[in-house]
Amino acid sequence: MDIQSIKLRFGIIGNSPLLNRAIDVAIQVAPTDLTVLISGESGTGKEVFPKVIHQESTRKHGHYIAVNCGAIPEGTIDSELFGHEKGSFTGAHEARKGYFEVADGGTIFLDEVAELPLSTQVRLLRVLETGEFLKVGSSKMIKTNVRVVAASNVDIPKAIERGKFRQDLFYRLNSVPIFVPPLRDRKDDIHLLFRKFAADFAEKYRMPPLQLADDAVKLLSNYYWPGNIRQLKNITEQISIIEREKEIGADVLQKYLPGVRNSGLPVLYHKTDEESFSERELLYKVLFDMKRDMAELKKIVLNLIEKDGHHPDIEQTKALLVKDFGKELPEREQRIIDQMEISRPADTDLEDSEDYDHTEIIEESLSLTDKEHEMIKRALEKHHGKRKNAATELGISERTLYRKIKEYNIK
């Protein structure tokens, strides 16, 4: 079967060379029993490719089971995948077959495979190498003939460096890699997808389909799309329902695009090496910028002390900066002055303080662990302890949040 036939059969839209390459690899590998690792950002449509591989294989009449590894609690993941015997743990009132036993002769799709605990990764590696596994609480070896297709939206080599993923399992899963491109690398496909979603929602809600003006098409194509196809679909549905006027211009569209709303600035584009910055990485960048500003502030103060031989006040610092830069201070230097004013204790004369010479400057902690701990606590407080909502706010899975709560002993 050729690429166009696969697109029609599975509802894949787009003509990007990167997308066509991914489909072609899926078609070529489908008749074999090789394991496949599908990589790509969240929302790119990775879940379609295991279905293509299964339906184009000799296993198409067998079971196809999709498992979201990030949605299953760590304590029950082994039981879900490999089954358990009666009485093997609290609540195991009867024996249960796992997915690998049920899918014998078929295909298992392990989505978010990087979220698997290390102990489960060992079990999975054994199944891939020998086709054998043990149920939880059993000593009887069970044979299975299952084709495994895995997917991940994280950089697994980096997870290996952090000790979160087994290197031998990565090599075993990565027999054939398939990369699903992000939407921003498929610019010519974005408007096609929008029109398809607009037509679907027009039929669903019995209304005229949306039409984009030329400036809106340009804005749509140049947007970064961190949520990829999933985000595009959600935004198309929002506009279809909310906007009464179905001819959409850039001024209306930008209200629905995060980061563009009420801004005349160009769309923010992150140029990365096959990966985008996560929210956490952006936060770390802000923290390091703050640290650099503080270092610059200390440097200015030390220079003033060396020049005048006494401790400067804010007005002296500002006067010297104005002397260097002119009447208008650059934004960075003005921010430093603002930080000095904010941090100055009220009604305190530094020159008259006897203890000033002994004051120790303590830098704010920039430990990534501390910041992660603080962010998790704030998210839990904001959502009144609801872990699902907090996990969504933090951009991590609920199981990962649960593990972090235990790791940091957060009450």
* pLDDT tens-place string over residues 12-22: 999 999 999 99
The arithmetic mean of pLDDT across residues 288-317, rounded, is 63
**Coil/strand/helix, residue 320:** helix
More confident residue, 353 or 286: 286
Residue pLDDT, tens place only, 61-79: 999 999 999 999 998 999 9
Q: What is the pLDDT of residue 330?
A: 57
Q: What is the pLDDT of residue 389?
A: 84
- Residue 286 pLDDT > 60, yes or no? yes
Kindly state which CATH superfamily the domain 3-181 is placed in. Answer: P-loop containing nucleotide triphosphate hydrolases (3.40.50.300)
Cβ(34)–Cβ(66) below 8 Å:
no
Q: In the chain, what are the helix, strand and coil shares in percent, each to the nearest 5? A: 55, 10, 40
Q: Which of 186, 255, 243 is nearest to 209 (CA)?
A: 243
What span, in angstroms and rounded, lies between the C-alpha atoms of 318 and 334? Answer: 9
Phi and psi at residue 155, in whole multiples of 5°?
A: -80, 100
Structure confidence at residue 403 as a pLDDT band (50, 70, 90): confident
Q: What is the pLDDT of residue 352?
A: 46
Q: What is the pLDDT of residue 227?
A: 95
Tokens of 41: 């950002």
CATH topology assigned to domain 368-408: Arc Repressor Mutant, subunit A (1.10.10)
More confident residue, 274 or 223: 223
What span, in angstroms and rounded, lies between the C-alpha atoms of 133 and 136? Answer: 10
The arithmetic mean of pLDDT across residues 90-95, rounded, is 87
Q: Which of 100-109, 341-350, 372-381 has the highest mean pLDDT?
A: 100-109
**Coil/strand/helix, residue 141:** strand
Residue pLDDT, tens place only, 309-340: 555 555 655 565 555 555 555 565 566 556 55
* 184-256 belongs to CATH 1.10.8.60: yes
Residue pLDDT, tens place only, 11-51: 999 999 999 999 999 999 999 999 999 999 999 999 999 99
- Residue 344 pLDDT > 60, yes or no? no
Cβ(229)–Cβ(43) below 8 Å:
yes
Residue pLDDT, tens place only, 183-235: 999 999 999 999 999 999 999 999 999 999 999 999 999 999 999 999 999 99
> What is the share, in percent, of the chain residues with pLDDT greater than 70?
75
Question: 0.75 cut: is pTM over it?
Answer: no
What span, in angstroms and rounded, lies between the C-alpha atoms of 3 and 8? Answer: 9
- Residue 243 pLDDT > 80, yes or no? yes
Dihedral sign from CA coordinates of 220, 223, 228, 231: negative
Instruction: Give the range among 89-103, 115-129, 289-303, 312-326 with minimum mean pLDDT.
Output: 312-326
For the chain, what is the mean pLDDT? 83
The arithmetic mean of pLDDT across residues 45-60, rounded, is 97
- DSSP state string for 77-134: HHHHHH-B-TTSSTT--S-B--HHHHTTTSEEEEETGGGS-HHHHHHHHHHHHHSEEE
The residues spanned by each domain of the chain are 3-181, 184-256, 279-345, 368-408
The arithmetic mean of pLDDT across residues 149-156, rounded, is 96
Q: What is the pLDDT of residue 362?
A: 47
- Residue 347 pLDDT > 50, yes or no? no
More confident residue, 4 or 342: 4
Widest CA span of the chain, in angstroms?
A: 86
